[in-house]
Amino acid sequence: MRLWMLGSGSKGNAVLVESGDTRVLVDAGFSARRLAERLTAIGIAPASVQALLLTHEHSDHVSAVQRAVKRWKWPVHATEGTLRGAGELLEGASTHVIARGVPFTVGDLRIEPFGTSHDAADPVGFVATSVCSGARTAVVTDLGCVTDEVRTAVQRVDVLVLESNHDEGLLESGPYPWHLKRRVGGKHGHLSNRAAGELSMHCLHKGLKQIVLAHLSETNNSPAVAHESMQRVLRRTRYKGELAVAPQHGVVGPFGDGGGPGGQLTLF
């Protein structure tokens, strides 16, 4: 199983997961043109993607959906709340209702959606397991806090894509208005570097090969700050895997089988 981050953050998100001939995209938060550009950059024809999985209906996760489903006929898998929230963007799309805790299969991938704590209708994260190889990947972004449901879902993964949105000190002292600081730092907002470190501790096992920090704030964080914060946690453990940071304006990967250390980076 291999995974590419096609861009990550509040200006747009998409993750391509591939296992054998099966390709699924988690979120489509760019323009369809940009999404096509980025898929092409990693040698993937957009029409070869078998399914689009949506975590939630916020625009940084769905902005390409309307054009993409028309152009490439991607079937959309999302919770009832997300489908409702995405509304007319999904007009004409073939949709599949998914639910927290109920696994489904796309080609070689068994996908388990789990609930996240975020200010959307019915947000989820995903764990994808290759039926052939047993390799497991978790994508966990857009969550204000780590619940038991999340902690349980992301055990024994090989690749962990984890939100590391903000440094708590930078958010507090930064330029955001009070209400936005409260939203981002709240239980239904975004995960801090500190909370990401705590969750990663729960995920450590000898099969964990790669942690990818995702959905970094461009205002209240930086790749160096997030990386250092996670390194501080990992240094105290026996973690032998890699640590990478997903950029907002670039593609990084592949992670997983055949991925080099940290993956290749292409900036747009």
- Crossing angle between the packed helical segments 193-203 and 223-235, to the nearest 10 degrees: 40
Total chain residues near Zn ion (CB under 5 A): 3
Instruction: Tell me, residue by residue from 71 to 110, as one string, x for binding to Zn ion by CB under 5 A and - for no binding.
Output: ----------------------------------------
Contact positions with Zn ion (CB under 5 A) in 139-178? 142
CB of 257 to Zn ion, least distance (A): 27
Query: Whole-angstrom Cα distance, residue 108 to residue 79?
Result: 21
22-26 and 51-53 beta bridge pairing? parallel
Which of residues 56 and 136 has its CB atom nearest to Zn ion in the complex?
56
Query: Whole-angstrom Cα distance, residue 115 to residue 227?
Result: 26
Query: Whole-angstrom Cα distance, residue 230 to residue 211?
Result: 10
Which of residues 141 and 229 has its CB atom nearest to Zn ion in the complex?
141
CB of 143 to Zn ion, least distance (A): 9
Of 157, 112, 124, 134, residue with least CA distance to 19: 134
Which of residues 130 and 221 has its CB atom nearest to Zn ion in the complex?
221
Chain residue whose CB lies nearest Zn ion: 58
Which of residues 135 and 195 has its CB atom nearest to Zn ion in the complex?
195
- 2 part of the interface to Zn ion, by CB under 5 A: no
User: Looking at residue 190, what DSSP letter applies?
Assistant: -
- 58 part of the interface to Zn ion, by CB under 5 A: yes
Query: Whole-angstrom Cα distance, residue 62 to residue 256?
Result: 25
